[in-house]
């Protein structure tokens, strides 16, 4: 059984084809089910290899389905790549936090973004999760999805015309969607971790990184006992 980045990219491809919600401000742009598990490979393959797998899945999606690539399509490859890096980075290495810092800066420097600077406070969540709840899976999931949101939000501010009122109206939507995405990432990680724990011994040492703490079987036994 081969869990190479290429194979994982094919698995991730399926989620890119199921739309979840429409993106505000642009035609034919959607969040897909990919948002619910996209960052997870970063934890199993390491931040950089995991990010490459995520990027590969998205590029493959464009190539396989023959979609015409606009500037927005190309830029939208980036949010989940950085989310995978965040999700896969260990708590002692905080360089992944450079991304939300740059996103906040880019958003506030935008003429419209500067008027709704408080919207960018969402992107302090990756910092809070990393430092306040460093050992919580849901916190890492929340930090990852808001890292993706930070990158996407900064890109959106500079590429899609939106009014300050439209950004303000998005606040409750962001809270709802990102909470759902964080739960999805959490459950996806536990499910994939449980499966990989059963086949880890069949793979070359160091191929994947499985966390026994989130093996569903052990979690159930620990809860019962």
- In order along its 225 residues, the chain shows pLDDT tens digits of 444 444 554 455 444 555 544 554 445 554 566 777 778 888 888 888 888 888 877 777 667 665 656 777 778 788 989 999 999 887 666 777 899 999 999 999 999 999 999 999 999 999 999 888 888 999 999 999 999 999 999 999 999 889 999 999 999 999 988 998 999 899 889 988 888 877 766 666 666 777 888 887 777 766 666
Residue 38, pLDDT score: 79
Residue 92, pLDDT score: 60
Domain ranges of the chain: 5-224
DSSP 176: H
Residue 25, pLDDT score: 45
Dist CA 182 CA 154 (whole Å) = 20
Q: Look up residue 87 and give its two tokens.
A: 């999700």
Beta-strand relationship, 30-32 and 19-22: antiparallel
CB-based contacts of 65: which residues, under 8 Å, 6+ apart? 17
Residue 64, pLDDT score: 66
Residue 134, pLDDT score: 84
Residue 110, pLDDT score: 97
Residue 20, pLDDT score: 47
Residue 219, pLDDT score: 74
In this structure, the number of other CB atoms found within 10 A of the CB of residue 113 comes to 22
Dist CA 160 CA 16 (whole Å) = 22
């Amino acid at each position: 059984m081969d869990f190479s980045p290429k194979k994982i990219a094919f698995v991730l491809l399926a989620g890119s084809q199921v739309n979840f919600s429409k993106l505000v401000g642009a035609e034919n742009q959607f969040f897909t089910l990919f948002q619910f598990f996209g960052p997870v490979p970063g934890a199993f393959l390491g931040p950089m290899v995991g990010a490459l797998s995520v990027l590969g899945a998205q590029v493959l999606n464009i190539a396989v389905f023959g979609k015409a690539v606009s500037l927005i399509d190309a830029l939208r490859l980036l949010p989940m790549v950085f989310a995978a890096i965040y999700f896969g980075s260990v708590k002692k290495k905080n360089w992944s936090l450079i991304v939300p810092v740059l996103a906040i800066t880019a958003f506030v420097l935008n003429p419209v973004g500067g008027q709704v600077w408080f919207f960018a406070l969402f992107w302090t969540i990756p910092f809070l999760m990393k430092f306040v709840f460093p050992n919580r899976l849901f916190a890492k999931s929340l930090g990852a999805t808001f890292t993706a949101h930070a990158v996407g939000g900064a890109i959106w501010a500079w590429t899609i015309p939106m009014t300050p009122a439209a950004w303000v109206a998005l606040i409750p939507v962001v809270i709802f969607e990102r909470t759902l995405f964080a739960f999805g990432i959490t459950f996806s990680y536990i499910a994939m971790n449980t499966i990989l724990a059963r086949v880890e011994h069949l793979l070359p040492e160091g191929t994947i990184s499985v966390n026994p703490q989130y093996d569903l079987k052990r979690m159930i036994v620990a809860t019962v006992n």
